[in-house]
Amino acid sequence: MLRDVFTGNYRMSFLTTIIVIVSVAYIVYPFDLIPDFIPVIGWTDDALVFYLLLRRLVKETQRYTRFKAMERRGI
């Protein structure tokens, strides 16, 4: 899927693109709603963002699978 996105054969939805960018930035940058230096509680917000990102990527992968199936049919 990523190869098709980068080559321009498949276009991810705008919402997915925004969610990926914001989620990765939130997880990587040290500015969180709950600071990470608080042992377990500080990581829960990062884990929640990661979980929501994975759910969105699963939906996008299903969309991509339908796209490839239609492409094989010649539609």
Summarize pLDDT for 23-44 with one digit per residue, the tens.
Answer: 999 888 877 777 767 778 778 8
Q: Around 47, how many Cα atoms within 13 Å sit in the side-chain half-sphere?
A: 7
**pLDDT per residue as tens digits for the range 56-72:** 999 999 999 999 999 88
d(CA 52, CA 44): 12
Q: Please give the DSSP secondary-structure letter assigned to residue 70.
A: H
Rounded CA-CA distance 70/27 in Å is 35
Number of C-beta neighbours around residue 19 at 10 A: 19
Q: What is the dihedral of CA 57, 25, 50, 16, to 10 degrees?
A: -20
Predicted TM-score of the model (pTM): 0.77
